[in-house]
A and B are shown apart, each in its own frame.
Chain A
């Protein structure tokens, strides 16, 4: 079972370039999330989608946009990359929006902006 698949795994961008991080899940989950992980700060929520057709801002949405393409896929776009967006990005999904459902995580995308 693939679970949550993120592409690419590694990326180096120049300041001002744009890119889209892709995420797909094969567990028929309703909710999907994008987090960034920075040393000493844990994971911070960028955007989430409680169900297909909805998206909402998380804790650190500035500089990012998202698209819930269908139930399986949730992409994260950096329109004009900045060095402050150097981070490890994780996509996650959960079965339902209820609070007691755990999230399943992808393997992460390590992004460096130079």
Chain B
């Protein structure tokens, strides 16, 4: 069975400082991993995805994540936070379900707060 652990439920940073959102995963197979962002009262938007190509993945809005198999981690980073980055972020692991579907398992989310 696959699972995702987001190590921080809330992260607060100052505008212009680096962002680190931590994610560890567990999967029986070689998984695909994703980060999604959800702004208040909105749907979910894909930030980036890892699919066994390059281990350092670049996404939208300056975010990137590094897949580390030895640490079973997929942490999300951004060099300089912007006020518009304030949102909830979800780490997601994907593997095939029993019915053959693409089962996405979500972490519990990290709320990012950006202060002036």
Residue contact B90 to A50, C-beta cutoff 8 Å: no
Most buried by B among A40, A43, A48: A43
A selection of 24 A-B contacts at a CB cut-off of 8 Å is A4-B43, A31-B101, A33-B101, A40-B108, A41-B108, A42-B106, A43-B104, A43-B106, A48-B103, A50-B102, A54-B100, A56-B101, A58-B97, A58-B103, A90-B44, A97-B96, A97-B100, A97-B101, A99-B95, A100-B32, A100-B94, A102-B34, A102-B49, A105-B43
Residue contact A42 to B109, C-beta cutoff 8 Å: yes
Tell me the complex Cα distance, A43–B49, Å: 18
Residue contact B43 to A56, C-beta cutoff 8 Å: no
Within 8 A of B (CB), among A2-35: 4, 31, 33, 35
List A residues at the B interface (Cβ < 8 Å). 4, 31, 33, 35, 40-45, 48-51, 54-56, 58, 90, 92, 94, 96-108
Tell me the complex Cα distance, A97–B106, Å: 17
Tell me the complex Cα distance, A21–B44, Å: 18
> 9 smallest A-B Cβ distances: which pairs?
A56-B99, A50-B101, A100-B51, A42-B106, A43-B106, A100-B32, A105-B44, A105-B43, A42-B108
Tell me the complex Cα distance, A97–B102, Å: 5
Most buried by A among B34, B90, B94, B107: B94
Please indicate the chain A residues that have their CB under 8 angstroms from the CB of B108 in the complex.
Answer: 40-42
Q: B7 in the interface, Cβ–Cβ < 8 Å?
A: no
Residue contact B49 to A99, C-beta cutoff 8 Å: no
Residue contact B52 to A100, C-beta cutoff 8 Å: yes
Please indicate the chain A residues that have their CB under 8 angstroms from the CB of B9 in the complex.
Answer: 40
Please indicate the chain A residues that have their CB under 8 angstroms from the CB of B46 in the complex.
Answer: 102, 104
Nearest A residue (CB) for B94: A99
Q: B70 in the interface, Cβ–Cβ < 8 Å?
A: no
Tell me the complex Cα distance, A4–B43, Å: 10
Residue contact B43 to A90, C-beta cutoff 8 Å: yes
